[in-house]
Amino acid sequence: MHYLLDLLEPLQIWLFQALVLPFMYEAGLMTWADSAFDATGIFLLALLQIAVVYALLRPLELWYPAEAGTRDGHEVRTDVYYTLFYRTGALPLLFFVTLGPAIDAIQINLRARDIIPPNLEDLLPGLNNSPLLAFACYVIAIDFFEYWRHRFQHQLNWWWALHAVHHSQQQLSLWTDERNHLVDGLIQSVWMATVAQIIGVPGTHFIGIVFLVQLVESLSHTNVRLHFGRWFGLVLVSPCYHRLHHGIGIGHEGHKRGCNFATLFPLWDRLFGTANFSESYPRTGIRDQLDGVNYGRGLLEQQLLGISRLLAIWHARKQATGNN
């Protein structure tokens, strides 16, 4: 990540001086200049990532699609808007930076009471001498908590009311990963950033983890007939594996509310009994869409309907509590 940021630094400096800095000066925000400079670099890195993802994955969708046929241009454009908003906005990175002082204050308070919260480098001292091994360990730890976050999104009805925005896309593509309700996106970002701060992930490693997760999730949502085989399919989530998670009648069914929740490593699904390694490419979406339930056409409608579903659940729960 240092190498990529160094390559982009001349463009980062130009963009910051030409556009960002004058705006901040006029708005009286110069105390945030250092953070804005870092954010400019992350913004450029995000644009580079989006360009690389499109250049690599779009040909796969055209060459060997899992679902052939005419794409709904409006739905695809909506997902592109989501992608540009979430990835260039870098919400997890924002919360990682802003939550840092709060997490530090909590840890200082705990240490004053002789309570020492462990982090990975305390548990595995050898990580201090091997940045690559440390990065790998942090990736595994983050992915473990991401698996459980995803399980909760399906298990908790109020969270599913928001997460359903993501599953309502009936035509998966390389853009689909970031199709999320804004509130859901904020919760996800706070979740990942908090976990990273608690286990002591260094800032540069965290940037690398976020971008690795985004790359794999772009691949896993791609409309391509691609399975990683019997052995490598156990190592990394493939488009086939994740498509089953989005499959109608498969991805949000049963007492575990679905299957294949892992973000990077199917290992977690195997360990906790939620793995489905079938090599099939089902139709995607939510079962009640077949009955005409509307989840919104366009970003604004999807957001409003998500809030409406959430309020309906809270209202029903309040009524049930009152009746008891």
pLDDT digits (tens, 9 = 90+) for 174-226: 999 999 998 998 888 889 888 888 888 887 788 888 889 999 999 999 999 99
In a domain, 19, yes or no: no
Q: Supply the pLDDT for residue 106.
A: 62
pLDDT for residue 135 is more than 80: yes
Q: Supply the pLDDT for residue 324.
A: 62
Q: Supply the pLDDT for residue 112.
A: 67
In a domain, 191, yes or no: yes
> 173 near 220, Cβ under 8 Å?
no
Q: Supply the pLDDT for residue 277.
A: 93
Q: Supply the pLDDT for residue 32.
A: 72
* d(C-alpha 286, C-alpha 307), whole Å: 18
pLDDT for residue 69 is more than 60: yes
| Of 36 and 290, the one with more pLDDT | 290
| Of 157 and 122, the one with more pLDDT | 157
Percentage of the chain modeled with pLDDT above 90: 46
**Nearest by Cα to 221 from 178, 189, 181, 180:** 178
pLDDT, mean of residues 297-322: 90
Percentage of the chain modeled with pLDDT above 70: 87
In a domain, 310, yes or no: yes
pLDDT for residue 35 is more than 90: no
pLDDT, mean of residues 160-187: 93
* d(C-alpha 105, C-alpha 193), whole Å: 16
* d(C-alpha 198, C-alpha 106), whole Å: 10
What confidence tier does 162 reach under pLDDT thresholds 50, 70, 90? very high
Buried b (16+ CB within 10 A) or exposed e, 267-302: bbbeeeebbbbeeebbebbbeebeeeeebbeebeeb
pLDDT, mean of residues 78-88: 87
In a domain, 252, yes or no: yes
pLDDT, mean of residues 273-300: 92
In a domain, 265, yes or no: yes
pLDDT, mean of residues 94-99: 54
In a domain, 238, yes or no: yes
**Nearest by Cα to 233 from 279, 274, 273, 282:** 279
In a domain, 207, yes or no: yes
pLDDT, mean of residues 279-300: 92
Q: State how many domains the chain has.
A: 1
pLDDT, mean of residues 64-75: 85
Buried b (16+ CB within 10 A) or exposed e, 251-261: bbeeeebbbbb
pLDDT, mean of residues 56-82: 89
Long-range contacts of 244-249 (CB under 8 A, 24+ apart): 244/276, 244/278, 244/280, 244/282, 246/167, 246/169, 246/172, 246/221, 246/284, 246/285, 247/282, 247/283, 247/284, 248/282, 248/283, 248/284, 248/285, 248/286, 248/287, 248/289, 248/290, 249/282, 249/287
| Of 89 and 215, the one with more pLDDT | 215
In a domain, 32, yes or no: no
What confidence tier does 172 reach under pLDDT thresholds 50, 70, 90? very high
Domain that holds residue 311: 64-323
Q: Supply the pLDDT for residue 30.
A: 79
Q: Supply the pLDDT for residue 270.
A: 94
